[in-house]
Structure 1
Amino acid sequence: MTADASERIVATVVVCTYNRASSLRQALPSLVRQEFARHGSFEILVIDDGSTDGTAEVVRHLAAESPVRLRSITVPHGGVAAARNEGVHHALGEWIAFFDDDQDAEPDWLSSLLDRAVQSGADCVAGRIEVVFLGETAGASDPTILKLFGSNGSMADEDETGPGSIPTVSVGTGNALVRRVLFEKVGLFDRSLSYGEDAEWFRRARRHGAVTVFARNAVVRHLVPAERLQLSYLLPMAGRGAESRVADDFKDGGLAVVLRLCALRAAHVCLIAFPRLVAARMAGDQSASAGRACSVHFSIVYIRTAMGILARSPGRWTMRRAKSA
């Protein structure tokens, strides 16, 4: 469907994808079914990051039948941060919603995000992500594994009626709504990051004074295939998350905060995580064992990365913190 040139687009839903044609066949129809008429019009913008698996054909077919404006832009493969920046650049909406290509949205998802934004006056709204494991479910009950895949149930404790920001919870682009003009103030996603670029952007936005609130009724489901529950997939993901967190913690708190967190993580590994890992393996509890292994690995990589940065450039992060203060 194409929109009239004079039509006001309230929101653009940006979906970045790379070689996930099969996932898009479920993700995009859930967006087309959004109940948004009372707010006006919205569009779906797919950024195809150089896919080679037939993604373009899937999008073309869905767009031909969609009652909602659905368009696609194909760019050379440059990573998810670059793809999201393309989405921001080409979005027509006053608000930009971010949605992953392996998710499924409730029909009132987008409306719930915008309702919360209007009610609170916030700059960013984060919604609830429920993780659904497909097929094999080993690891599905462990909170650490759920968190790795984006589960953010702890954010539901935030005040639903007031405009209070969320300073302690990592917000990501799996379920978020952002004022488009905020990118002019904060800048775009950091293309140098291959992981955690979304969390880095939201933390940067907070440092610029942006207010983020939570909309517990704006629900998406992250559909995770069984093969991603293997430690060969989970441990590298935990390690990349640790590396990204170190950089963000240096920017937010400087040297003193990172050193304190390194000490706390070392104590956590020695006194809690590793003993629980041993106990879980002895008991044959695969779920708890996978979770504790990821927890131990995250802490070890966090400490190793922090010490490596300090060894290479001891004054770099303290100087950056001073400039940003």
Structure 2
Amino acid sequence: MTTPRVSLIIPTQRRLDGLATAARSTFLQTGVDPATLELVVVDNDQVPSAEALTRTLAAEAPFPVVYVHEARPGVANARNAAMAKARGDFIAFLDDDEEAPAGWLAALLAVQARYDADVVFGPVRGRAPAGVVKHRAYLEWFFSRVGDGPAEGLIDHYYGCGDSLLRRASLPDAKAPFSAIRNHIGGEDDLLFGGMQAAGARFAWAPAAWVWEDPVPNRLTLDYTIARAFAYGQGPTSHCAAQTPPDRVGMARWMVIGVLQAGVFGLLAGLQGLVSSPRFAFTLDRAARGLGKTLWWGPFKIHFYGLRAPT
């Protein structure tokens, strides 16, 4: 039986320290034959700012390292550019603010084999620097993926692309599966996995395949996370709107849920803010997600990805 090849993909944009940490964590993977691996670094900066670092990393790596420069802004563009160069039967995604323990990839592959899964997801553990005190518990929770807890097995839902393993043969397009309509708002992975689920794909949860996530300092604020929570809330309604034809019943249902969620948790967050409750940020987050379900179209879309550097 031929051992499948695995392409490790790290998309990056002007995060050299994070890229170095993420890439070097892939070099230390155990329980996997390095001869079956490659790392694809896709640089989504206007200029090839990660090229020199990637050459340095390639000299250290126990397997081939491929550099891809995708100057067109957008997270879907970046992922697709990497997919076009990747040669693996399986694709493992790691973000440039994540660090994988030594057994991470082996755990993903083991669960994939046990359950014949098309996509496998693992937990993410948010890690804030020691100097972050205010709202620390919330911020670490926000950047975590608790998922389905300690129980391994098939699941009937999906998560984001960071810390995931995809079977290439199961993708609707082997080289460009991510939709460009999500380039600037994110959720390109939700759109892909939602379509795969509708087509009967099998998803699995691998609790042993966890990674650290180290958010950049300017994201460790309520200004960032609450705006991001609002954008996350837009996901289910936007997904219904993007179907062909649009799922108008689903859109209406999510918008009603959003109004109720925003109202109840918005009021509760206001009361908790008055008494400086440690739950304030968590409740405000839920209110923002509700508001996003309701205000999901055109002028309310928030662009987190593919933005060009200030000039």
Counterpart residue type for residue 10 of structure 1: R
Distance 1:184 1:263, change over 3 A: closer
State which of 200, 205, 212 in structure 1 corresponds to 2:196.
Answer: 205
8 A Cα contact 2:47 2:71, kept in partner: no
The letter for the 2-side match of 1:295 is R
TM-score for both structures, normalised by structure 2: 0.85
Change in Cα spacing, 1:308 to 1:104, as seen in structure 2 (3 Å) is closer
**Is contact 2:237-2:255 (8 Å) kept?**
no
- The match for 2:77 among 67, 77, 82 is 82
Report the residue type matching 1:270 in the other structure.
Answer: G
Could you list the per-position Cα deviations for residues 281-310 of structure 1 after superposition, in whole angstroms to 9, with x for gaps in the alignment? 12223x53233223222222321226999x
Aligned to 1:44, the other structure's residue is in SS state: strand
Give the share of equivalent positions with the same residue, in percent. Answer: 22
8 A Cα contact 2:128 2:214, kept in partner:
yes
Distance 1:70 1:38 in 2: 15
SS in 2 for 1:305: coil
Contact 1:133 1:225 in 2 (8 A): no
RMSD: 2.6
Take 2:197 and 2:287, find their aligned partners in 1: how far apart are those partners? 29
What code does the residue aligned with 1:212 have?
F
Match of 1:107 in 2: 102
In structure 2, distance between residues paired with 1:235 and 1:173: 21
Match of 1:60 in 2: 55
Q: CA deviation at 1:33?
A: 0.5
Distance 1:276 1:67, change over 3 A: same
The residue type equivalent to 1:70 in the other structure is V
CA distance in 1, matches of 2:249, 2:298: 13
Q: 1:56 to 1:38 in 2, by over 3 A?
A: closer
Q: Does 1:130 align with 2:125?
A: yes
Rounded Cα–Cα distance in structure 2 between residues aligned with 1:99 and 1:292: 29
Structure 2 partner of 1:3: none
**CA–CA distance in 1 between the matches of 2:47 and 2:292?**
33
Structure 1 CA distance, aligned partners of 2:239 and 2:140? 22
The CA distance in 2 between the partners of 1:209 and 1:232, in whole Å, is 38
- Using a 3 Å threshold, how does the CA distance of structure 1 residues 130 and 70 change in structure 2: closer, same or farther? same
> When the two structures are superposed, what TM-score results if normalisation uses the length of structure 1?
0.81
Give the equivalent residue in structure 2 for 1:166: 156
* Aligned residue number for residue 319 of structure 1: none
Shift of 1:8: 7.0
1:321 maps to none
Task: Tell me, yes or no, if structure 1 residue 190 matches structure 2 residue 193.
Answer: no
For each residue in 1:79-118, what CA deviation from the matched residue of structure 2 results, as whole angstroms up to 9, or x when unmatched?
1111101111111111001110010001010111001011
Tell me if 1:267 matches 2:252.
no
Provide the aligned length of Structure 1 versus Structure 2.
293
Cα 1:31–1:246, aligned 2, differ >3 Å: closer, same or farther?
Answer: same
1:209, CA displacement in angstroms?
1.1
Q: Quick one: distance in 1 between partners of 2:196 and 2:284?
A: 32
The answer as to 2:147 corresponding to 1:141 is no
2:149 is matched with which residue? 156
In the alignment, which of 241, 249, 256 is matched to residue 249 of structure 2? 256
Letter in 2 for 1:276: L
Change in 2 beyond 3 A, CA 1:65/1:154: closer
Give the one of 168, 171, 188 matched to 1:180: 168
The answer for unaligned runs of 5 or more in structure 1 is 1-6, 310-325
- Stretches of structure 2 that go unaligned for 5 or more consecutive residues are 301-311
Counterpart Cα distance in 2 of 1:307 and 1:48: 28
Task: Work out which of the residue numbers 222, 236, 240 in structure 1 matches 2:227.
Answer: 236
Asked if 1 retains the 8 angstrom alpha-carbon contact of 2:7 and 2:38, the reply is: yes
Distance 1:270 1:198, change over 3 A: same
SS at match of 1:292: helix
The equivalent residue for 1:281 is 273
| CA deviation after TM superposition for structure 1 residue 185, in Å | 5.4
In the alignment, which residue of structure 1 is the partner of 2:209? Answer: 218
**Which amino acid in structure 1 is aligned with residue 240 of structure 2?**
D
Alpha-carbon deviation of 1:50? Answer: 2.6
Conserved 8 A contact 1:45-1:87 = yes
CA distance in 2, matches of 1:91, 1:25: 20
| Partner in structure 2 of residue 320 of structure 1 | none
Secondary structure of 1:281's partner? helix
Q: Say which is worse superposed, 69-78 or 205-214, in terms of deviation.
A: 69-78
Q: Is the 8 A contact 2:39 2:65 kept in 1?
A: yes
Given that residues 237 and 254 in structure 2 are in contact (C-alpha distance below 8 angstroms), is that contact kept between their aligned partners in structure 1?
no
Greater strand proportion: 1
Tell me what 1:41 maps to.
36
Q: Secondary structure at the match of 1:246?
A: helix
